[in-house]
A and B are shown apart, each in its own frame.
Chain A
Amino acid sequence: GNSVTQMEGPVTLSEEAFLTINCTYTATGYPSLFWYVQYPGEGLQLLLKATKADDKGSNKGFEATYRKETTSFHLEKGSVQVSDSAVYFCALSKSNDYKLSFGAGTTVTVRA
């Protein structure tokens, strides 16, 4: 079946530091890949997505590239801010049913 393995947290960074959250997946066929973010006390928001190999999703300074050869979709941001403190979830869905399988989530705290 489909599964997502996400880097264990929590992660604590200083402002302007570089952030990487690793995500690898197991799936048959060609899934779509997503990063969702959950800010404290809020619901889930789509951060970025990629639907085919070598696609790069980007939003709010975050980027992730769909790497089929390494089955990975690592999230990166070059310079984090305190407002980036949140829980980040990597997820995938098969193209034919749109059911999302989520990673465990990574809690990121950015300190001023």
Chain B
Amino acid sequence: SAVISQKPSRDICQRGTSLTIQCQVDSQVTMMFWYRQQPGQSLTLIATANQGSEATYESGFVIDKFPISRPNLTFSTLTVSNMSPEDSSIYLCSALDRAGNTIYFGEGSWLTVV
């Protein structure tokens, strides 16, 4: 199994600022992903975090708004840039274990933009 830790767990952010969320996995994993869960909604995939190269973004998400880094096999960051109240969401990091069997999630970073 994989244990995924995210920081911060919660934050209240000012409109127009940017915040970086960190994701640390306790073991080497193959793929890492970032999801967004808007209030009362389901989860939507933002992007796949690729080690050592640019992330692969899903339709509707762009690098300028959600820059992502993944410098090694166990760590990734997601930045939410120039935040607006519409960015108030839970942002979840997930990872595929090395066996390729199970996708684990972090506990999420609950962001509120005021």
A interface residues, Cβ below 8 angstroms from B: 34, 36, 42-46, 49, 51, 89, 93, 97-105
Contacts and interface: CB of A to CB of B under 8 A. Distances in A.
B96 A98 contact: yes
Contacts of B43: 44, 89, 100, 102
Given A46-B102, A98-B33, A100-B45, 10 more contacts: A34-B103, A36-B105, A42-B107, A43-B92, A49-B102, A89-B42, A93-B103, A99-B33, A99-B48, A102-B44
Given A98-B96, A99-B48, A104 B104 contact: no
A84 B33 CA distance: 27
Contact of A98 (B42, B44, B58, B103): B103
Nearest to A42: B107
Interface in B67-104: 90, 92, 94, 96, 100-104
A97 B31 CA distance: 9
Nearest to B1: A46
8 contacts: A36-B105, A43-B108, A44-B108, A97-B48, A98-B100, A99-B33, A99-B58, A100-B103
B106 A102 contact: no
A36 B103 CA distance: 10
Contacts of B101: 51
B63 to A, nearest CB: 18
Nearest to B44: A102
Interface string B40-64: 0111110010000000001000000
Contacts of A46: 102-105
A43 B107 CA distance: 4
B96 A44 contact: no
Contacts of B106: 43
Given A44-B108, A98-B96, A99-B48, A105 B102 contact: no
Contacts of A89: 42-43
Nearest to B4: A43
A33 to B, nearest CB: 12
A47 to B, nearest CB: 12
